[in-house]
């Protein structure tokens, strides 16, 4: 059961990653993606896609021109990093120290999951120990309670 759960978690992350990688992109889609990847250099308050400042508009036009010139996504991002520094990217590149930004959340999830498994195993009653109450589904238990209450209230 637990193995399956962890496999599902891993699959969800992997599937999302693969989907993100393999989604074929037209030029318009690439333009849109780049507009979400580059921050508005006026205030760094949001990606250029969401800004209607002159600076953001200028970047949008530049991106369109660079794409028309045949530049790739990475080349365009590199160009902006060279001009404005890493802060221009709406998300850090997954390399070097910044890799930590991406590794930590799934690690937290995995370690958290393992801790819960450990905790449940540690405080779980031994299999040989007889259960004081027969295992019933919550629903059955709940409906019995309802019936009892209704009898008490003479409904």
Q: If DSSP codes are grouped into helix, strand and coil, which group holds residue 125?
A: coil
**Residues that bind another protein in the complex, under the rule CB under 8 A:** 1-2, 5, 8-9, 12-13, 15-16, 18-20, 23, 36-37, 39, 44, 46-47, 49-52, 60, 85-92, 97-98, 100-102, 104-105, 108-109, 112-113, 115-117, 119-120, 123-125, 131, 133, 135-139, 141-143, 146-147, 149-150, 155
Task: Indicate the residue among 50 and 75 with the shorter CB distance to another protein.
Answer: 50
Q: Which is nearer to another protein, 70 or 139 (CB)?
A: 139
Q: In angstroms, what is the minimal distance from the CB of 108 to another protein? A: 5
| In the complex, minimum distance from the CB of residue 117 to another protein, in angstroms, rounded to a whole number | 8
Closest to another protein by CB, 72 or 109: 109
Contact 7, 113 (CB under 8 A): no
Residue 39's Cα: distance from chain center in Å?
20
Phi, psi of 38 (to 5 degrees): -110, 130
Among 38, 32, 21, 125, smallest CA distance to 84 is for 38
34 vs 66, which CB is nearer to another protein? 34
Q: How far apart are CA 74 and CA 64, in angstroms?
A: 14
CB 42 within 8 A of CB 55: yes
Indicate the Cα dihedral angle 51, 56, 59, 60, nearest 10°: 40
Minimal distance in Å, beta carbon 71 to another protein?
20
Q: How far apart are CA 65 and CA 138, in angstroms?
A: 63
CB of residue 30 to another protein, shortest distance in Å? 14
What is the nearest approach in angstroms of another protein to the Cβ of residue 66? 17
Name which of 50 and 78 has its Cβ closer to another protein: 50
């Amino acid at each position: 059961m637990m193995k399956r759960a962890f496999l599902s978690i891993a699959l969800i992350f992997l599937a999302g990653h693969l989907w993100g990688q393999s989604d074929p992109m037209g030029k318009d889609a690439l333009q849109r993606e780049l507009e979400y990847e580059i921050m508005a250099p006026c205030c760094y308050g949001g990606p250029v896609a969401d800004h209607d400042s002159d600076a953001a508009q200028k970047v949008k036009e530049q991106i369109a021109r660079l794409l028309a010139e045949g530049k790739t996504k990475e080349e365009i991002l590199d160009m902006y990093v060279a001009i404005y520094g890493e802060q221009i990217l709406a998300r850090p590149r997954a390399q070097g120290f910044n890799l930590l930004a991406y590794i930590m959340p799934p690690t937290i999830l995995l370690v958290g999951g393992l801790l819960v498994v450990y905790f449940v195993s540690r405080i779980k009653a031994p299999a040989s120990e007889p259960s004081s109450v027969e295992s019933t589904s919550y629903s059955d238990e709940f409906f019995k309670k309802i019936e009892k209450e209704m009898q008490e209230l003479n409904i």
